[in-house]
Structure 1
């Protein structure tokens, strides 16, 4: 068994497209955070679960070279609250929505990302 419980290791077989890999990883991190929050007992510090989600998503953003798409900084653990999570989550949700709209407009469905280099060389017609 791996560190991801019954789920498959999300780092195995990551798609080559950074945007698609990000969607896969973020969905996993969000699911784990939700599971941890659902299992909270009275003395648990829920800010740790929010911070784990934020740090994991930020690591995925950095590793996949998507930093320019995000504006929110990772708060220190002393400053993590539900509001800090909401602020960060708004940025992530905005990016995911943009990806889905772009892919849908090109008739490719959810996992047909735009290759950045190709898009710059051959912009879509107006």
Structure 2
């Protein structure tokens, strides 16, 4: 038995053709915007915010606030900037990464400068709080 479908333009299509159209509509309406959202979350959302008292790490799935006085070490790597706290806990910021080439050649990169700036701010916060 063959089923037919009449479209808005009056054309007739078989069910096989109609299911192909449905798949195309699902892709256009659901998957394309979803891939844009995923691209934004993993590509543009990550950031690192340093203020007088805290470091805020915004990664694709989580936002973490760390008091500066708790940071004891920071270093850059391929996965991102890693900050070690006194608890001990390691927080990785995706926004600041170091390339494999920079790691192999031991080149100084922006991520090294950011790690040094965070450590200096953490030292200053401990001095202000009387913890140094």
Please state which structure has a larger fraction of its residues in helix: 1
Q: TM-score, normalised by structure 2?
A: 0.31
Q: Find the structure with the greater CA-based Rg.
A: 2
Task: Report which structure shows greater RCO (CA 8 Å, sep ≥6).
Answer: 1
